Structure 1
Amino acid sequence: MNDQKIIHDAADEIDPITFEVMRSIFEFASDRMATVLQRSSFSPILADMLDFSNAIYDADLQLLSQAANCPIHLAAMKFSAEEAVKCIGKDNVYEGDVLVVNDPYRGGTHINDISFIKPYFYKGQLIGYGVSRGHWMDLGGGGAGGQAFSTHIAAEGLRLPPLKIFSEGKINQDLLAIIMNNSRTPHFIKGDLQAHLGALRGAEQELQRACDRYGIDTVSKAMKKIQAYTEKMIRESISKIPNGVYEAEDYADTDGISNERVKLKVRLEIKDTSIKVDFTGTDPICKGAINSPRANTISAALYSLQFFLAPDAPQNQGMFNPIEVVLPEDCWLNAKWPAPTIGCTTLTSSKITSAIWQALAKAIPEKITGSTCSECNWFVASCTSLDGKTDVFSDLPAGGWGGTPYADGMSVTMDPLGNCMNMPAETAELFFPIAYEAFELRKDSAGAGQHRGGLGAIFKVRFLGGGELGMETSRTIEGSPGAAGGLPSAVQRASHIHADGTTEVIGGVDSRGAWRNPLLSSHKFASGDVFMFESTGGGGWGKPTNRSVNDVLEDVLDEYISIEAAREQYRVVIDPVTLTVNEAETTRLRGQAK
C-alpha cells in the first residue's frame, strides 16, 4: 500500500497537458506497431486478415498501451512477456535483443500465436518492452495449421520455450532454420519475422523520442499516472453495477474425442469497485484439443467484461487491476501439459464471453446484448495446385452479433475474440488454388427478438486441385442464446459438396437428424469439390412479439427471415403472393402469445 501511494504521489507531478500528450504518444506507439506489421508482413493471415496484436509495457511489464487488434491476444501477451523475461533473466536481456515464445503453458494461447518481446532502453536504462504477437499460418503438427485435433500438444506443431531470436541485433540463424524446417509455409516466415521486428522497432523509436523531449523521469511518471487514471475509471464503472453474485453456463459441442458437451460455468461476484470471475464448477481438462491455457482464459474474461465497463478508457494495466480471475487446477480452462490447445482461442474464448455476458444479463439487463455467434469458425486447408504445388489456405467465416437493447445485432461480424477480417476473395484466389463461390447472408440464421440478432453467412469455396481441410467450430447443437426474452440463433453446419453435386454434412446435424463431430482434421477434398459453411447469427434481445409488425415485414422483404419464421417466431402473418401483412390474423396470434 505504501509503495502504491509513493507511485501515485510521484505521478501526480505530471500536469494535465503533459498527461494527455504522453497518453497520445503511448497510444500512437502501439498503433504504429500495428500499421507496420500489417503493411510489411508476407502472409495473408497477417497482411489481410489482421490476426495479430501489438502492445507496449513499462519496465515492470505492466501494460501501457495496446493497439485495437485481437482482444484474445492482448491481455494474454503480458503473461508471455513475463515468462520470457523470467526465463531468460532480466539481467541477461540487452539492447537489440528480441525474445520469442509460443508455448501455450508459458503465457501463450495456441501454438500458432507466436510472440516477440523486445526490451526498450534509453541511454542504457530499461524503459519498457514491446510485444508483437501474430498467428503464423503453419508451425507444423499433424494437420495443416496445427489442426490435428489429437490428444497431445505435440501433434499441434513446434512449441518454443522462451528463447532469443535476436541477440544484440544479430539473428539466431539456427533457431530460424528450426522454425522454417517445421512449417508447411516456410516462404512466409522470414518476411513475417522482419515485419514483427519492424513493428517492435517502431514503438521503440516513439518511446525514445518521448524520452529525448520530456526526459526519462517524466515519461516514467506518466506511465504510472495513466495506469492509475484508467483503474479509477474502471472502478467507478464497476460501482454502478449492483453488488451480488451472478452465474451462467455455456458449452462446447464436443472436445473432438467424446460426443459429450463440455461445460463452462462462471460466477461473477460484484463487490463495490471490484469483480471476481470464478470458474469453479467447470468441467475437467479434456482429452481433445479445446483446452484453454491460463493466459488465454484470463484474457477472454477480461476483454468480455471491458465491453460493459469503460471501453473508452485508455487501454492499459488499470483495466485489469480491479478484476480477479479464479481458475480451478483441474479444469479445461486451465490447461496443463500435455493437454492440446489448438481450439482455445477460436472456440473456447468465445464461450467464455457468452457465459460472462449471460451472467451480466442478470445484473444489468438494460445494457446487455444477446450472445454473438460465439465462434470464430477457423478453418485451415492444405491445397494442391494442378501442377502439384501445395500451400496452406485459411479463413474465418464470420457470424452475427446479438441484438441489443437499442437495435438489431450486426450481421457477419467477427466474434469479439478476434477483431480480424475475412480473407479477401481476390487475395485468396491470387495466392491459392481455390475459387470463392459464395459469401452471402444466411436467411433465418439470427435469433428472433424485439431486436433480432445479426445474420450469419453462407460461405463456399471450391478446391481447384484438391486439398485437406481442418476446422474447429461449434454451435452445431444449439444456437447462441438470446437475452431479455430473445430467442437463440440457428445452428451451424459444415458440408462437403462433391464435384457431381451430391452433398454430405461433415460437421453438425444433417437432414436426417444425425450429428457429426464439427472438429475436423485433414478432411479430403478432390479437385472440383466445394467446402460450404453455414454460420449462425446472434441471439435475439427482447420478446419477438414486441418487434414491430412493419420491421418483421421489412425483414421478410429483405430476405433476412422467411414467411414461415415471421409467423412461427414473431406471430406476424404475411401473404406469400402479395407480401402484405394479414392484420386480423396477426392481431389474433399476437393476442394468444400474450
Structure 2
Amino acid sequence: MTLNPILLEVFKNRFSSIAEEMGMALMRTAYSPNIKERRDFSCALFDAEGEMVAQAAHIPVHLGSMPLSVQAAMAESMGPGDMVVLNDPFKGGTHLPDITLVAPVYAPGGDKPEFYVANRAHHADVGGMAAGSMPLSTSIFQEGVIIPPLKLVEAGRIDEKILRFFLNNVRTPQEREGDFSAQVMANMTGVRRAQELLAKYDPETVRFYARALNDYAETMTREAVARIPAGTYRFEDRLDGDGLGREDIAIRLELTADGGRVVLDFSASDDQVPGPVNAVRAITLSACLYVFRCLVRESIPANAGCLRPLEVITRPGSVVDALFPSAVAGGNVETSQRIVDVILGALAQALPETIPAASQGTMNNISIGGHDPRRDRPFAYYETLAGGMGASRHVPGASAVHAHMTNTLNTPVEALEYAYPFLVTEYSIRRGSGGAGRMPGGNGLVREIVLEAPAEVTVLAERRTRGPYGVQGGQTGAPGRNILIQDGVPTVMPGKFSTQVAAGDAVRVETPGGGGYGGHATESGQV
C-alpha cells in the first residue's frame, strides 16, 4: 500500500480524537473530584500487538507505562464486549491507585482484535494501611488491593463478584463503583469510535496507517536525537529519602548519544529502599519517553515509535527498577519526577540552550481520610499539588502548574469544600520561591486546609531538603515545606509523614519553586 501523506495526517487526528473523546466521557461521568476535577486519568489506543498508536493529552507517567499493562491484559483472550482490569505495578502498572481497564476492538465480522483501547484512572482509595492508599509502606501488600489481569466485563456484562470483592476492600465503595462505571463507559466510547473508523476504511488501511504513524514518530524522534552532539553525558540527582530512614537516594544516569540513537544507562542508581519511593521499570521507560518526545519540535503522536531510538538500561533491584514485593506507591509520583530531572540534567550539558532548569520535581501528594459528619459516611481525599516550572533560555518558569510527569489540573477550592469536610483557608502563589536567574523560575503555591472532622493525613513529597536545580548559572528554586497546625501552633513536618489530626487542625503545604536559567553562579553539583 502506498503512503498518502494527507491520509497520514487524517489518521493521526482520527486516532488521537478517539482517545480524547474517551477522556471526555470518563471525566464527565466520574464520581470523584480526583478524576472529575483534577482529571487524574489517561486514555490511549493500541494496535493488535499492544503497541501504543495514539494517546490523548493526558498524564505522561500513565501513558508511557500503559503498553505493558495492555500486553498483560491481552493474555486474557478478550472477545467482543470484554474488558480486563488490572493495577499490578509489576505487570505494567504504576502504583495501585492507578487502575487500568482494557477493551479489544473488533472490526465488523472480524474474528480477532484489530486494536485495543485502554484508560487508566487514579482511584482516591484502593484499601491498604492508610486512607488514600499512598502510605509510608514497606511492601506493596500494605498499599492496597493488588488486581492481576481479570475479566471485569464479559460480553458486555460486569462481573459482579469481582466488583463486590474489590468494593469490600476499599474505604469509599460508592465512589469507587461510580469511577469504575465511568471507566467502562470511556472504553465503550473508544470501541465504538474505533469500529466506526474500521467500517469507514477497511481494516488493512487502518492498520497500515497505524504502523505508518509509529514509523513517522520514530523518524522524527531520530532526527531530534541526531541533534544531540555525540558523546557521553553523566548526571546525578537525589531523592530526599524514603520516609523510613533512608536519605539521599541517588539516581545516576550515563547518557550516550551517537547519531540517531541514545543509550540511557541508569544501572549505577542506588538499590531499592524499604520505603515507598521505588519505581518499577515501566516508570523509568515513561520518563524517558516523555523527555525525548518533548525534544521533537514537530507535532507528532506520542506513540511506540518515539521509544525506538532509545535503549534504556536499568538494574533489577535498583530504585528505578524495583522488584516485587517492594513498596512503590511513591515511585510513580515522586521518583518519576526525579528521573526526568536527571535526564534533563544530562541533556543540559549537550544542549545548553535548549534544556530548561529543573521544575519542582515532586507531585506533593496529600491524602486525607476519615468520616464525614455532614454525610455520615467515610471519605478519602487525594490530590497532587502544583509548583514552579523551571525557567528556559527564552521565558521565565510558569508558576503554580503541574509539570513533567503529571498533567493534572488544580482542584478548585469550591470542589474540595463541597466534597469533603474541609475549609480551605489559603490557596495562593508562593511568592519568591522561584530560583533567581536571567530568566527566573516559576513560583510554587500554598494550600492550607482546616479539617472539620478527625482524620488521617499522609503526605508524600520531595524537594524538601534541596531545591530544584538551576542551569547555566541560574539559582535553585526554594524547597517545599509541610506544616501541621494544631491548637494554633505550627510544626514543620518531614517531606513524608502520616499522622492523625483532630477537627480544627490544619495542614499547610508550600510547594517548591522552579530553578532559574542563567545569570548567577552555579551551585556545586549542578549543571
TM value normalised by structure 2 = 0.96
| Equivalent of 1:490 in 472, 478, 495 | 478
The 1:237/1:495 distance shift into structure 2, 3 A limit, reads same
Would you say 1:99 and 2:84 are equivalent positions?
yes
CA distance in 2, matches of 1:412, 1:453: 11
Tell me, yes or no, if structure 1 residue 109 matches structure 2 residue 111.
no
Q: Please point out which of 60, 63, 75 is paired with 2:49.
A: 60
Where 1:371 maps in the other structure, the secondary structure is coil
Q: Distance in 2 between matches of 1:378 and 1:330?
A: 25
Q: Which moved more, 1:242-251 or 1:143-152?
A: 143-152
Matched, 1:32 2:21: yes
1:301 to 258, 265, 288: 288
Q: Would you say 1:282 and 2:263 are equivalent positions?
A: no
Q: Does 1:519 align with 2:496?
A: yes
CA distance in 1, matches of 2:468, 2:447: 19
How far the C-alpha of 1:268 sits from its partner, in A, is 1.1
Report the equivalent of 1:469. Answer: 457
Shift of 1:126: 1.8
Equivalent in 40, 43, 55 of residue 32 of structure 2: 43
Gaps of 5+ in 2: 523-527
More helix by share: 1
Letter in 2 for 1:332: V
Does residue 75 in structure 1 map to residue 64 in structure 2? Answer: yes
1:61 and 1:28 mapped to 2: Cα distance? 19
- Are residues 1:233 and 2:220 paired? yes
Structure 1 CA distance for aligned equivalents of residues 291 and 220 of structure 2: 17
Q: Distance in 2 between matches of 1:212 and 1:312?
A: 27
One-letter amino acid of the counterpart of residue 46, structure 2: Y
Secondary structure (helix, strand or coil) at the match of 2:220 reads: helix
Map 1:153-232 onto structure 2 (within 5 A): 153-232=140-219
| Unmatched segments (≥5 aa) in structure 1 | 1-9, 508-517, 547-594
Contact 2:124 2:133 in 1 (8 A): no
- Say which of 402, 414, 423 aligns to 2:390: 402
How far apart are 1:159 and its partner, in Å? 0.3
2:408 is paired with a residue whose SS is: coil
Indicate the structure (1 or 2) with the bigger Cα radius of gyration.
Answer: 1
Distance 1:468 1:416 in 2: 29
The counterpart of 1:326, out of the listed 313, 335, 357, is 313
- Return the TM-score normalized by structure 1: 0.85
Contact 2:292 2:306 in 1 (8 A): no
**1:383 Cα deviation from its structure 2 partner:** 3.5
The within-5 A match list for 1:114-513 is 114-122=99-107, 123-124=109-110, 125-310=112-297, 312-386=299-373, 389-498=377-486, 500-507=487-494
The whole-number CA distance in structure 2 between the counterparts of 1:489 and 1:20 is 41
Alpha-carbon deviation of 1:319? 1.1
For residues 175 and 81 of structure 1, what CA distance do their matches in structure 2 show? 19
Q: SS in structure 2 opposite 1:329?
A: coil
Structure 2 residue matching 1:18: 3-state secondary structure: helix
Q: What does the per-residue CA deviation read over 1:491-530, in whole Å, with 9 as the maximum and x for residues that have no partner?
A: 11101112x32111112xxxxxxxxxx2112x11111111
Over 3 Å counting, the alpha-carbon distance change for 1:149 and 1:53 in structure 2 is same
Structure 2 vs 1, CA of residues 311 and 415 (structure 1 numbering), >3 Å: closer, same or farther? Answer: farther
d(CA) in 1 for partners of 2:68, 2:259: 27
Determine if contact 2:131/2:370 at 8 Å carries over to the other structure: no
User: What's the counterpart of residue 525 of structure 2?
Assistant: none
* Higher relative contact order (Cα pairs below 8 Å, separated by 6+ residues): 2
Contact 1:383/1:432 (8 A) holds in 2? no
The alpha-carbon distance between structure 1 residues 196 and 368, as it changes in their structure 2 partners (threshold 3 A), is same
Greater mean deviation of Cα atoms: 477-486 or 22-31:
22-31
Q: Using the alignment, how far apart are the partners of 1:267 and 1:309 within structure 2?
A: 21
The CA distance in 2 between the partners of 1:259 and 1:217, in whole Å, is 54
> How far 1:259 moved relative to its partner?
4.2
How many residue pairs end up in the alignment? 519
RMSD: 1.4
- Residue 462 of structure 1, CA deviation: 0.5
CA contact (8 A) 1:101 1:114 kept: yes
**Alignment partners' CA distance in 2, 1:311 and 1:276:** 23
Corresponding residue SS for 2:473: coil
Is the contact made by 2:386 and 2:403 (CA closer than 8 Å) also made in structure 1?
A: yes
**2-side partners of 1:209 and 1:390: how far apart?**
42
Q: Can you list the C-alpha shifts for 1:208-257, whole angstroms capped at 9, x where unaligned?
A: 11221121111111111111111111111111111111111111111111
Q: Secondary structure at the match of 2:251?
A: strand
- Matched residue, 1:538: 514
Aligned partner letter, 1:255: D
Decide whether the 8 Å contact of 1:449 with 1:545 is kept in 2: no
Q: How far did residue 36 of structure 1 move?
A: 0.7
